[in-house]
Amino acid sequence: MAENYTEDNIRSLEWREHIRLRPGMYIGKLGDGASQDDGIYVLIKEIIDNAIDEFVMGNGRTIEVTIDERKVSIRDYGRGIPLGKVLDCVSKINTGAKYDSKVFKKAVGLNGVGSKAVNALSSYFMTQSFRDDKTKIVEFTQGKLLRDVEEKAVGEKTGTLVVFEPDKEVFGNYHYISEYVEKLLWNYVFLNKGLSIKYNGERFYAKNGLLDLLDRNINGNGPVLYPIIHIEEGDLEFAFTHSTKQYGEEYYSFVNGQHTTQGGTHQAAFKEAIVKTIREFYNKDFDTGDVRQSIVAAISIKVTEPVFESQTKTKLGSQYLEPDGQTIRNYVSDIVKRNLDNYLHRNQETAETMYRKIMQSEKERKELDGIKKLARESVKKASLHNKKLRDCKVHYSGNHEKRLDTTIFITEGDSASGSITKSRDVSTQAVFSLKGKPLNCFGLSKKIVYQNEEFNLLQSALNIDEGLDNLRYNNIVIATDADVDGMHIRLLLITFFLQFYPDLVKAGHLYILQTPLFRVRDKNETIYCYNDDERKEAIQKLRGKPEITRFKGLGEISPSEFKHFIGPNIRLDPVLLQRDSSLKEIMSFYMGKNTPERQTFIIDNLRIEEDVVEDLKVA
């Protein structure tokens, strides 16, 4: 019998309850910090965005950021929140000054939610405003008011200090990865000339905007074909060049200083304008892919009251510029065409180099066309008779939050892929099974991707043949055994991605799955240990003589256990590229010809397990 549906069933959630119940609506995915998309970085961004808006309006040139393990402090030197409204601004939804476009003409945050989301999702949250030689402090826990301190006189500079610690009840056993924080802060200074950010004592500052951004990010990918073309006009700034050592395309796009990692209308307009201008300049109907092959570009636009496709503001949806009503497409196209055409006429050497590059790309594409056709036929045939890919149900179709959750595990062997397949979330997690070790592709041309069956099928599964725009899975996870063979397969796969899709790695899509090496249990408790230190701690905790199992391969872990390791508590190690890392040197050292230096490195870094084995015998 159906339950009665009455007025008693209707309830209104408080603002903090709604945010904690549906955090994905406000900060995207949660995660433990392994991904740069994880919510703990969005919390930092939301607070810094407020400080950036102050800077853009001419108030305060320095922002100080400190992270001490899980505790984050952010201090700006803007005008400070009006003291009488400090409590409301951080605890009343849809409350803020950014609704007044006269005050914040081209701000990032527009909906009065950011600081409230940080408040509700933090175990501790404090805001202190300095204004008119006075200060006001409010403190919260999980969005509930702890202290509302009366105003008092103070001699500090004006501005706002926010201190928060993300709640472990929401984010689990999270950790901040410094490289992700630094990348975030560098983007802020690249987009805001004159801004200085101090992070744990280090100063972040850039003089030349997007020119500096490309200079910094191209490093390690080999020399560029011609000097970076850097243009600024009105509310648009862009810079680009072609790399000599990179396949595909790479874009850094921004709106009002916000890094739109998923692009949007401004990026689409820029890509279209580049191709159109170059075609007209050379009076040749170049193929779009030939023009953009190996391009590395950055674009920044300022828009009044921008419309984003999600609360996390990673894709611009605006079609028009307010208040004049001009389309973003036409605005970007006009500026790119006029300035790029003038630049190429004035810089004949660059124009000639660009022409040779496009013609070389055309030649390579035509050489590959026949191979690609055969490769696509092979994929179609394989998909009928091959179960290498166990797909998931959700694919990106405009829903940003769902796309962030999609994951594909690349495994080796039937037993490992079988365990993951049986224990995965079929809605968002896919499995691709390798057959043996993949080919070492270091130094090979891209045609090997189409000629090698494993690479061809993997590329097809990921849908990255034409670049990252249609990447089917946000998280690409290498899941191999923690033994010598497993480590070798990891290196071979990483080499494949770095050789042909370095932009995929730099965009933060590639991870290594961490699975437990040991299971320590007694009749009352089971503890999974990911390293030897955790194993020793578990033995001490359980005392007595607990049963200890050493997992030698993924296939030895039962599906019922495996679901714990690829669920909400999944441990992922991101594959990160240091700024000063040279891809060519890295791959040459690890995957090139054997050398005495590499042999010494391997010997010095061998994992010695004799002590572990002896402990297991004793236990």
Q: CATH number of the domain that 449 lies in? A: 3.40.50.670
pLDDT of residue 486: 84
Residue 540, phi then psi, degrees to nearest 5: -65, -40
Residue 287: the pLDDT is 94
Domain identity same for 581 and 563 = yes
Residues of the chain with pLDDT under 50: 1, 99, 103, 110-111, 384, 396-399, 607-619
* Rounded distance between C-alpha atoms, residue 618 and residue 430, angstroms: 41
Same domain, 606 and 485: yes
Whether 7 maps to a domain, the answer reads no
Tell me: do 102 and 151 sit in the same domain.
yes
Is residue 198 one of the residues assigned to a domain? Answer: yes
Q: Quote the pLDDT of residue 361.
A: 92
> Can you tell me the distance from the alpha carbon of 36 to that of 181, in angstroms, rounded to the nearest whole number?
8
Burial of 371 (0-12, 13-18, 19+ CB in 10 A): middle
Which run of H or of E encompasses 72?
strand 71-76
Q: Tell me, yes or no, whether 182 lies in a domain.
A: yes
Residue 57: the pLDDT is: 85
Both ends of the chain: CA-CA distance in Å? 56
The CATH number that applies at residue 291 is 3.30.230.10
pLDDT digit string (tens) for 415-449? 778 888 899 999 899 999 988 888 888 888 888 88
The pTM of this model reads: 0.82
On the 0-12 / 13-18 / 19+ scale of CB atoms within 10 A, 243 is buried
Looking at residue 311, its pLDDT comes to 60
**What is residue 595's predicted lDDT score, i.e. its pLDDT?**
64
Instruction: Note whether 469 and 601 are same-domain residues.
Output: yes
The β-bridge relationship of strands 510-514 and 571-574 is antiparallel
**Residues 377 and 394 grouped into a single domain:** yes
> Which pLDDT value is given to residue 390?
87
Give the whole-angstrom CA distance, residue 463 versus residue 542: 48
Does 361 share its domain with 436? no
Residues 92 and 106 both lie in one domain: yes
Q: Are residue 599 and residue 583 in the same domain, yes or no?
A: yes
Specify the length of the chain in residues: 619
- b/e 524-561 (16+ beta carbons within 10 angstroms → b): eebbbbeeeebbeebbeebeeebebbebebbbebeeeb
Would you say residue 396 lies in a domain? yes
Statement to judge: residues 284 and 404 lie in one domain? no
Return the CATH number at 35: 3.30.565.10
In a domain, 170, yes or no: yes
Same domain, 63 and 181: yes
For residues 213 and 266, the answer to whether their CB atoms sit within 8 Å is no
The reply to whether 200 and 218 lie within a common domain is no
Q: Does residue 5 sit within a domain?
A: no
CA neighbor of 256 nearest in space, from 43, 101, 40: 101
Q: Rounded to whole angstroms, what are the CA distances from 519 to 434, 459, 534, 547?
A: 27, 36, 10, 8
Instruction: Show the domain range for 448.
Output: 368-519+527-618
At residue 335, φ and ψ (nearest 5 deg) are: -70, -45
Compute the distance between CA of residue 334 and CA of residue 316 in angstroms, rounded to an integer. Answer: 19
* Single residue among 204, 220, 242 that ends a domain in this structure: 204
Residue 413 token pair: 């062997």
**Nearest to 337, CA basis, from 278, 294, 265:** 278
* DSSP letters for 96-117: SSTT-TTTSTT-S--SS-HHHH
Residue 614 located in a structural domain: yes
Of the residues 182, 204, 226, the one at which a domain ends = 204
> Residues 56-85: pLDDT tens digits?
888 999 999 999 999 999 999 999 999 999
| Calpha distance 433→417 (Å, rounded) | 6
Residue 516's alpha-carbon distances to 30, 171, 411, 545, in angstroms, are 22, 20, 16, 20
Count of CB atoms situated within 10 Å of the CB of 593: 8
Number of domains in the chain: 3
Which amino acid, residue 446?
A: K
Residue 392 and residue 265 in one domain: no
Domain end point (choices 365, 395, 425): 365
For 383-412, letters b (16+ CB in 10 Å) and e give eeeeebbbebebbbeeebebbbbbbbbbbb
Give pLDDT, residue 613: 39
Helix (H, G, I), strand (E, B) or coil at 569: coil
Token representation of residue 196: 């200085």
So what's the pLDDT on residue 555? 76
In a domain, 276, yes or no: yes
